[in-house]
Amino acid sequence: MKKQLWLSLVVILAILVVTACGNKNSGNNKQAAAPESSAPASAAAVESPSPSPSPEPPKEPIKVKIGVTGSDGPQWPLFKEKAKKELNVDIQLIEFADYTLPNLALANNEVDINSFQHLAFLSKFNVEHNLDIVPIGSTVVAPLGLYSQKYKTVDEIPEGSKIAIPDDPSNQGRGLLVLQQAGLIKLKDNPGLFATPDDIVENPHKIKIVPVVAQQTPRVLPDVAASIINGGIAGQAGLKLADAIFHDDPKAESTRPYVNVFAVRRADVNNATYLELAKLYQQPDIEEAVLKDTNGASFVTNIPVEQLQQTLDQLIENIKAEKAK
């Protein structure tokens, strides 16, 4: 019995010794395991490098519709070509017959951008139609000229003559200011940007004002003594600024409301593609094409968007204040 008990104690002690040694070795294995397991992984990384990323598929061109009122100038084909080459943008020009349609098309998502109007026109249109169309870049500024096929100077225009002016509010107002600067009429004090023939207070030459659609102002030249024609339309009609018998100063601060712009819906004011297109217009070859198209009657101008928006906001505020009177 004692012998059996002694043997049992020996067996238990042996088990305890073996277990203790096993635990000690397990601890050592844990410390050594990291380098042993990491070495094969490093070797695998060297022997089997990760595959190089596959080339990106060709980027799909972005399609952009731009509303215009005259797309036959040499700057537009050039602009489209540069947009495709430099920005991978396919531009479709949507031409409208008069100034009332491109902003409505923009508001109705029929075009993405339009390029036809100056800030004075845009401010009036926004207020009257309760729209929020905003500029994203300047394009051109053009002197507003008085042209004639019959007379070489303003002084030659006889009494009772007919003079055509654009019939849209902003160009009509500016046209009347040009006639006042030329000494043909006098407007009431502070007529603002949107004067009408009703604002004429003195007409010593008994001039008859004939409002017509802006695009028609060159075509009526044979039927009137003279016609107020804006720069872009004058250029497309083959008229040079030097042909005008009188024009206002395109560089004067007073002409800032008449800077033409790329315009978009408010929601698209930060659209990267549209902003890049606006910048593209400022390149030297576009400027040269504009000068060629307008026979030197329009000048590409680069005005910061913030200043354009400030001018637009001020014009809108003035219009609303006038309406509130």
Same domain, 152 and 125: no
Q: What pLDDT score was predicted for residue 59? A: 76
Percent of the chain with pLDDT strictly greater than 70 = 82
Same domain, 112 and 178: no
**Residues, the chain, total?**
325
Mean pLDDT in residue range 104-128: 96
Min mean pLDDT across 30-44, 62-76, 149-163 is at: 30-44
pTM above 0.75, yes or no: no
Same domain, 276 and 154: no
Q: Does residue 4 fall inside a structural domain?
A: no
Between helices 284-293 and 75-87, what is the axis angle to 10°?
160
> Has residue 23 got a pLDDT over 50?
no
> Has residue 138 got a pLDDT over 60?
yes
Q: Does residue 217 fall inside a structural domain?
A: yes
Boundary-marking domain end, from 223, 249, 275: 249
Q: Does residue 75 fall inside a structural domain?
A: yes
Q: What is the pLDDT of residues 251-285, one digit of tens each?
A: 777 788 999 999 999 999 999 999 999 999 999 99
3-state secondary structure of 133: strand
Structural domain containing residue 293: 62-142+255-324
Q: How confident is the model at residue 71 (pLDDT cuts 50, 70, 90)?
A: confident
> Has residue 12 got a pLDDT over 60?
no
Total count of domains within the chain:
2
Same domain, 133 and 263: yes
Boundary-marking domain end, from 249, 281, 312: 249
> Has residue 155 got a pLDDT over 90?
yes
Same domain, 129 and 260: yes
Mean pLDDT in residue range 131-137: 98
Instruction: Give 228's contacts (C-beta < 8 A, 6+ positions apart).
Output: 144, 145, 146, 147, 163, 164, 165, 166, 171, 175, 178, 179, 217
Mean pLDDT in residue range 305-324: 94
CATH number at residue 170: 3.40.190.10
Comparing 298 with 134, which gets the higher pLDDT? 134
Boundary-marking domain end, from 210, 230, 249: 249
Same domain, 233 and 155: yes
Q: What pLDDT score was predicted for residue 105? A: 98
Q: What pLDDT score was predicted for residue 53? A: 53
Mean pLDDT in residue range 139-157: 95
At position 83, the amino acid (one-letter code) is A
Q: What is the pLDDT of residues 33-65, one digit of tens each?
A: 333 333 333 333 333 344 445 444 447 999 999
Q: How confident is the model at residue 293 (pLDDT cuts 50, 70, 90)?
A: confident
Same domain, 237 and 272: no
Percent of the chain with pLDDT strictly greater than 90 = 64
Q: What is the pLDDT of residues 190-221, one digit of tens each?
A: 888 889 999 999 999 999 999 999 999 999 99
Q: How confident is the model at residue 118 (pLDDT cuts 50, 70, 90)?
A: very high
What burial letters (b/e) apply to 137-168, b meaning 16+ CB within 10 Å? bbbbbbbbbbbbeebeebeebeeebebbbbbb
